[in-house]
């Protein structure tokens, strides 16, 4: 009986360490507690960067490991939110494995990302001796993670937890360009940020420029994105002078704020761009996903509207269980409000506790 109680307690700690890490929102100093060790090792699979592994000290073997995908961030696995998040999860008994995705670190989307997530997930058993993973993905990385998870069996995948997921890449491009999404109808986003909008435009231009027929367009957009990172983004008119007609149309698509003008530019997108968008969009592709899912999204997210997670929940009818929490103290993959906004944080804590009860049913 004591063994059973001990196993139940371990599962409880593991489940609530996951949601506790989210509630921290990248803030805190859990990684300095001394209860968790972080070690660095080489790539888990060919083409990846280094791997950080967070393991609990003096803990029994875990039935599952958490594989964490870092999203589009120039710091990669060294992003400022990750040490606290990973340490909190590991402190609950599950090791956290953080592979670095070189393309995502360069803030580039790729239709190879789902295959890369799948490759690295299937490399975990050999690297750790743990056969099952929980996939934890932040922001853009959530999309490739769901596509990868739909190809994994129940013996491989314990569950998926995402923060700030997208559902449709064209929704993201439209929101980035215009601040709205026609498919949302009268439920348009209220959160918007001009600086984040500019960042999103350059991410899309640099990523999709590689899918245009004229290679020089990719070079122009890549150079512009690098200049933007240095705080010296070129004016759109200067960029336009260097582009092919197809490149100019894509520039219009990502920079015209008027919804009608944006829609017109969409009709002229090249087949390569439309194909890449389709490969990364989740609509109609998750019928093979049987693992349980928890979706978490900040109500004030100015990069990916929280309605994307609502649409994703509607898509996931075949999953074993789906839980959605829209958090009032959160923006994009991190908490924006401290305890001075007590009721917002406390309300989010209640929502995340319900998610923890859902995760408790997973094999963790």
- d(C-alpha 133, C-alpha 325), whole Å: 22
- Domain check: are 229 and 339 in the same one? no
What is the pLDDT, as a whole number, of residue 25?
A: 62
Q: By the 8 A CB rule, do 271 and 161 touch?
A: no
- Domain check: are 59 and 163 in the same one? yes
Predicted structure pTM score = 0.92
The CA-atom distances, in angstroms, between 65 and each of 92, 131, 212 are: 11, 8, 39
CATH number at residue 317: 3.40.50.1820
- Domain check: are 129 and 206 in the same one? no
- Condensed to tens digits (0 to 9), the pLDDT of residues 22-52 reads 777 666 555 556 778 999 999 999 999 999 9
The last residue of a domain, from among 252, 279, 306: 279
- d(C-alpha 132, C-alpha 40), whole Å: 21
Among residues 265, 251, 166, the alpha carbon closest in space to that of 205 is found at 251
Name residue 311's beta-bridge partners. none
- Condensed to tens digits (0 to 9), the pLDDT of residues 280-328 reads 999 999 989 999 999 999 988 989 999 999 999 999 976 668 999 999 8
Domain assignment present for 87: yes
Q: By the 8 A CB rule, do 19 and 74 touch?
A: no
- Domain check: are 228 and 300 in the same one? no
Among residues 108, 150, 109, the alpha carbon closest in space to that of 283 is found at 150
- Domain check: are 249 and 297 in the same one? no
Half-sphere exposure of residue 205, counting CA atoms within 13 Å on the CB side? 34
**2 has pLDDT over 50:** no
Domain assignment present for 173: no
What is the pLDDT, as a whole number, of residue 148?
A: 98
- Domain check: are 17 and 158 in the same one? yes
The last residue of a domain, from among 261, 279, 297: 279
- Domain check: are 213 and 237 in the same one? yes
Element of type H or E holding 323: strand 322-327
- d(C-alpha 75, C-alpha 101), whole Å: 11
Domain assignment present for 186: no
Domain assignment present for 256: yes
Overall number of domains in the chain: 2
- d(C-alpha 347, C-alpha 343), whole Å: 6
- Domain check: are 275 and 294 in the same one? no
Among residues 205, 164, 168, 165, the alpha carbon closest in space to that of 183 is found at 168
Domain assignment present for 237: yes
Among residues 129, 148, 104, the alpha carbon closest in space to that of 53 is found at 129
Among residues 166, 138, 10, 147, the alpha carbon closest in space to that of 67 is found at 138
Higher pLDDT, residue 9 or 213: 213
Residue bearing tokens 């490969």:
279
Domain assignment present for 351: yes
The last residue of a domain, from among 262, 279, 296: 279
- Domain check: are 310 and 218 in the same one? no
Q: What is the mean pLDDT of residues 95-109?
A: 95
Range of the domain at 222: 192-279
Q: By the 8 A CB rule, do 36 and 87 touch?
A: yes
Q: Considering the chain, what is the average pLDDT of its residues?
A: 88
């Amino acid at each position: 009986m004591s063994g059973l109680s001990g196993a139940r307690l371990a599962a409880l700690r593991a489940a609530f360490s996951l949601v506790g890490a989210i509630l921290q929102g990248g803030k805190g100093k859990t990684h300095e507690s001394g209860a968790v060790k972080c070690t660095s090792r080489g790539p888990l699979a060919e083409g990846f960067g280094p791997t950080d592994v967070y393991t609990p000290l003096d803990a029994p073997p875990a039935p599952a490991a958490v594989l964490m995908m870092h999203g589009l961030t120039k710091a990669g696995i060294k992003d400022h939110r990750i040490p606290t998040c990973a340490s909190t999860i590991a402190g609950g008994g599950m090791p956290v494995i953080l592979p670095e995705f070189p393309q995502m670190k360069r803030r580039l989307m790729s239709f190879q990302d789902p295959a890369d997530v799948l490759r690295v997930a299937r490399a975990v058993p050999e690297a750790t001796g743990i056969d099952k993973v929980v996939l934890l993905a932040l922001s853009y990385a959530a999309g490739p993670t769901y596509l990868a998870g739909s190809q994994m069996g129940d013996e491989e995948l314990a569950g998926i937890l995402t923060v700030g997921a997208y559902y449709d890449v064209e929704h993201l491009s439209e929101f980035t360009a215009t601040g709205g999404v026609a498919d949302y109808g009268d439920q348009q986003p209220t959160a918007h940020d001009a600086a984040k909008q500019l960042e999103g435009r350059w991410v899309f231009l640099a990523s999709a420029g590689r899918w245009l027929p004229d290679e020089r367009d990719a070079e122009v957009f890549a150079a512009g994105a690098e200049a933007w990172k240095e705080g010296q983004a070129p004016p759109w008119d200067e960029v336009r002078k260097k582009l092919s007609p197809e490149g100019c149309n894509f520039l219009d698509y990502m920079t015209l704020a008027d919804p009608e003008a944006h829609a017109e530019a969409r009709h002229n997108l090249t087949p390569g761009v439309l194909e890449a968008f389709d490969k990364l969009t989740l609509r109609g592709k998750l019928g093979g996903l049987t693992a349980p899912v928890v979706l978490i999204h900040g109500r004030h997210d100015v990069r990916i509207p929280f309605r994307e997670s609502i649409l994703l929940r509607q898509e996931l009818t075949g999953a074993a269980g789906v839980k959605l929490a829209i958090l009032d103290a959160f923006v994009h993959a991190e908490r924006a409000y401290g305890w001075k906004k007590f009721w917002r944080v406390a309300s989010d804590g209640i929502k995340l506790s319900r998610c923890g009860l859902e995760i408790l049913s997973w094999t963790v």
